[in-house]
Amino acid sequence: MGIDPTFSIVVPTFRRPDALEETLAAILRLEYRTDRYQVIVVDDGADDVTARIVHRFQGHGVELMVEAQTHRGAARARNLGARLAGGEMLLFCDDDMILEPSYLRLHLSVRERHGDAVVSGAWRFSPKVMEALGRSPFGRYRIELERGFQEDGGGRPLDGDPGCLLMPLLGSGNLALRRDRFWEIGGFDEDFPVAGAEDQDFSIRARAAGALLLLDTNIHCLQNDNRLTLRDYCAREERSAETMPYLVRKYPSELGQVPYVRENRPIQAGDPPSLVLKKAVKMVLAGPALLELLHRFVGLLEAAHGPDRLLRRLYRMLLGIHLFRGFRRSWRA
């Protein structure tokens, strides 16, 4: 039996100490020899609280370090961690992911079956997040929204291994691959200012380099996301939308005409009247004062136990407006 490969687990974080604590506790419970993996926390906020948390977890047999950068974004944080890594394998783990103890073993099993692939595990909300989301109409809407995103991910079951899906894109929340392969692909593009489409860009380049992108549904992770309100979720999605124009500029022929881009870029010659009207309405509603009124109206409707059907339409509308705001802000830059 060969020696287990060494892993470097890179955890980018930005001022989420409670979530980070649970993530690190789970990583230290991995069923893997403690001298065969290390943990590198990259603090994008240069926060003393984060450093104290990391230091509290040190001394448990696993090499655990923290490196700080000043709000340079998730792509740069992951690359910084990868540069410090000494392991043969890299695992990028978001600071709100709780890995199951068998995660590294199951990842190696995928590689034994399918070779030098880029591998992600399936995730679901943690029980406490599910409970919190289930108590509000928006929370229940978000549960359905995330379930739909996962079902529409475009994966294709592999012959003889139906639990393993060949994917067009993988998220970076829990993503593992050989370290040398990561740098052959070019790492994450640090021009992406915040977390968002940088993992889509990495997936596109990985496929172009001949890598298999695999999602193994037998590898389970829990997401411990604390963005439980409509406002918090919309703010996150608006920031993420700022990264989409960077992706479009890199791949204009592939992405320039996808519906998301056509519906959010400025009005262009050839836009049908219905699309022109839709963009004009979004521009009006995206103003700070009117958007705030819409949020308050939705809050009042929730408090009055308004009908779910109407609330869901308003949630979709508000989310669309925030995506529009983020996209347009970056498009003009």
Q: What is the pLDDT along the chain (333 residues), one digit of tens a residue?
A: 468 899 999 999 988 888 999 999 999 999 999 999 999 999 988 778 888 999 999 888 899 999 988 888 899 999 999 999 999 999 999 999 999 999 999 999 999 999 999 999 999 999 999 999 999 999 999 999 988 887 777 788 888 888 899 999 999 999 999 999 999 999 999 988 888 889 999 999 999 999 999 999 999 999 998 778 999 999 999 999 999 999 999 999 888 888 899 899 999 888 899 999 999 999 999 999 999 999 999 999 999 999 999 999 999 999 999 999 999 998 875
Please tell me the distance from the alpha carbon of residue 112 to that of residue 256, in angstroms, as a whole number.
38
Ordered structural domains, the chain, with CATH: 7-228 (3.90.550.10), 231-332 (no CATH)
pLDDT of residue 63: 94
pLDDT of residue 1: 47
What pTM was estimated for this model as a whole? 0.91
Residue 59: how many other CB atoms lie within 10 Å: 8
pLDDT of residue 226: 77
pLDDT of residue 92: 97
Q: List the one residue out of 94, 313, 43, 114 whose CA is nearest residue 222.
A: 94
